[in-house]
Amino acid sequence: MSSWTLQQVAQHKTPESCWVIIHNKVYDVTEFLPGHPGGAEIILKYAGRDATSVYDPVHPPDALDKNLPLSKHLGSLDSKSIDAVAKERSNVSRTKDEIRVEQARKRMPPLRRILNLLDMENVAGQILSHKAFAYYSSASDDEMSTYSWPCHNSNIENARAFTRYFFKARVMRPVSHCDPSTTILGFKSSIPVFVSGAALAKLGHPDGEVNITQGAFKESIIQMVSSNASLSPATVMEAAHPTQTLFFQLYKHRNDELAEKRVRDIESLGYRAIFLTVDAIVPGNREKDVRSPWILEEQETGPVYHLEADNDLSKEDVNIFGTAGALIANDDRDMTWEKTIPWLRKISKLPIVIKGIQCVEDAVLAAEAEVDGILLSNHGGDSHFLPSSALPPLEVLYSLRQHRPDIFSRVEGGVRRGTDVVKAVCLGARAVGMGRPFLYAQSAYGVDGVVKIVQILKREITTAMRLVGASTVEDLKPEMVQRVDWQTYIHPKL
């Protein structure tokens, strides 16, 4: 293969001829521009020069190998240019946000002082880059449906839903031995919690999803790996223990051939189940994520004010989809019960879970389609695509228990997000999926942070089980939970 100088690469910085440098290798991405999920603008911003720093946090290392024909792999930089790029990287002035992050990491508390998941997010909120925290914590529209640590909006309904459910604890029951372990799709888990699919872990830590994989193994819980992970499915599986159970969250590509190849690859790699995501077919209105570049820009250069030239409404220069929207740009928007489930059954023998059920009616359809499980979700955890008025998953779970309890004997179920795992299990959930807490934990403390989160959850779950009179997960019953709608007392006017 050829070697190139920086001057030669710099000549190719237009939409008609666009080259970029990634890890000292040169790629012709001209034909890829129109189909880039994040839009052509971000690539053109780095056209003709080194783009490694923006490529690495959001792309698996093998993304170029999989998505770019070998003919577009043009070769490497020559030795002189490699030295020049290295010197340029070392001389780049750090941004104010990078300096803030570096200082914040020096002030992190000892891990032993993290007592709950809120403590962990508070640390992560300090040490994460603005871009990473905006992506991890943002939600759709007014963020009312999203559960977030802490509750940035007092109207966050996923969090408030749990406050409407109260335990009817039983006493005088033997609970000195308390076992919170369970099975999910037949696979063992030390607690009724699994890591739900969450994208772009490398935004928070250079080791990314591997931190979660190794921490999950140490504490014997199951990890679901996202289609949009910042590491490839193969890389994550290579980091896993040979006995470890990993599930895969599938965002189905609109091209059936590409989707089939991904499913077959996942199966051959050793993933044990497919969670088909059905509630994120279009990007939501994640305004915090969209605003993030503007905030960083103004940190460096000062405020930006209105100019008369800005009145040209035909000029669209805002990436309204943010970081998250780009991740699902090529997903299938025409999935149906009649077509998609049989298609997936035909090409794979893995258990199929439908991720994104939001009402009783669709839970019934999932059962009739004979899937192996449903994951109740309004996508209010890691990606937040749905509008802010989506029903909290716990309320959907309660409706299922009230109106179609037979569903629980036909498919396994789980809550997408929630702090009160025991309440959800009482109402019929097999386990609770959590995404954000593990992103925050691995971002701040790596593998040890993930281990700490599971240990906290295990302690809290075991304590709650003992207090309600349950020595095993099987002892948690619907009659142990009561839903109460508190009415605000309004003082009468005199």
Task: Give catalytic residues, as residue numbers.
Answer: 251, 279, 379
Q: How many residues are present in the chain? A: 494
Cβ 239 vs Cβ 225: under 8 Å: no
> Rounded to the nearest 5°, which phi and psi values hold at 208?
55, -135
Burial 333-371 (b: 16+ CB within 10 A, else e): eebeeeebbebbeeebebbbbbbbbbebebbbbbbebeb
Cβ 414 vs Cβ 175: under 8 Å: no
Residue 399 has a CB neighbour count (10 Å cut-off) of 15
Cβ 19 vs Cβ 2: under 8 Å: no
Separation of alpha carbons 286 and 161, rounded Å: 22
Cis peptide before 206 (omega within 30 of 0): no
Separation of alpha carbons 76 and 56, rounded Å: 18
From the list 436, 337, 356, the residue with the least C-alpha distance to 396 is 356
User: How distant, in Å, are the alpha carbons of 121, 219, 236, 241, 263 from that of 230?
Assistant: 21, 23, 10, 20, 18
Cα–Cα–Cα angle for 351, 357, 360, rounded to 5 degrees? 115
Cα–Cα–Cα angle for 464, 466, 467, rounded to 5 degrees? 65
Separation of alpha carbons 192 and 226, rounded Å: 20
Q: What tokens appear for 227 in the block?
A: 């289609």
